[in-house]
Amino acid sequence: MTEPLFYAEHLPDTGATFTLTGDEAHHAAASRRLAPGDTLWLFDGRGSLARATLGQITKRGHELALRIEERHTEPPSKPSIHLACALPKGDRQSVLLDMATQLGMTRFTPLVCERGVVKPGAHSPERWQRICLEACKQSRRVYLPDIHEPATPAQIVASHRGAWIAHPSGVAAGAMLAGTAPETLTLLVGPEGGFTEEEVRQAVEQDARAVSLGSAILRIETAAISLLAVISLAARNAG
């Protein structure tokens, strides 16, 4: 699939006509300069993927008439990764979510930690969803990550047994993946001041496993992306 990819919340069946509107249509017509007869792909963020032919462009490029040539559903990648992560400052949030989505994150929860200093704003979830969407289109991932309400480490590990919590005293990340890869995995990454000992103790008591990325003190997004990269590479090698 080398043709451009665009998002549509609902995809019709093969043979149907479909109208793409809004920002996605404008991007296709103006930025990508698609013309009638060109082929493009659509995805709904839930695994469905459709190949379409562009018929005509109307409303000054804000409406595209398409014919669906084929449609199928891609299986979700394994493992399914839930990233529960403290928020970095400013634009580093965009870097975190963009790269995490490219590496296969399927769910994101902003983590509320005792040493955390950044809280999500009123419109943060909508902005985060846009960042994840663009990352999906760039990386050709057809599952859009779910964005969850903020939660504490204790709340996460209570509902996700066997979660991994990033901590210098833990087992090396590579060693944690030796053997059979898990079907689902929850990762907890704390603020740059680190998790408190009480947060770690509570997590371990709930069967969380401490995982280490070495002795270096990493930025939030660096730690999260490093973990995801190790997992992604291990899953690829196992496949």
Domain boundary among 73, 108, 132: 73
Same domain? 108 vs 201: yes
104 & 56 share domain: no
- Specify the pTM: 0.92
Which structural domain range is residue 38 located in?
Answer: 5-73
CATH number at residue 65: 2.40.240.20
Residues 65 and 167 in one domain: no
- Clarify whether residues 113 and 224 are in a common domain: yes
Is the same domain home to 33 and 84? no
What are residue 57's phi and psi, to 5 degrees?
A: -115, 125
pLDDT of residue 1: 61
Check: CB of residue 199 under 8 Å from CB of residue 190: yes
pLDDT of 62 reads 87
pLDDT of residue 179: 60
Residue type, 23: D
Q: Are residues 69 and 84 located together in one domain of the fold?
A: no
Give the C-alpha separation, 205 to 212, whole Å.
Answer: 18
Q: Please list the rounded mean pLDDT of every run of 10 residues in the chain (239 residues).
A: 90 96 92 93 97 92 94 93 96 97 97 95 95 96 97 96 92 77 90 94 95 91 95 77
Q: How far apart are CA 64 and CA 47, in angstroms?
A: 22
Pair 111, 219 in one domain: yes
CA distance 38 to 36: 6
Separation between Cα atoms, residue 37 and residue 79, nearest integer Å = 38
- The predicted structure's pLDDT at residue 181: 64
Q: Rounded to whole angstroms, what are the CA distances from 229 to 99, 223, 232?
A: 10, 10, 5
pLDDT per residue as tens digits for the range 111-168 = 999 999 999 999 999 999 999 999 999 999 999 999 999 999 999 999 998 899 999 9
> What domain count does the chain have?
2
Same structural domain, 63 and 94:
no
Which residue in the block uniquely carries the two structure tokens 């669906």?
68
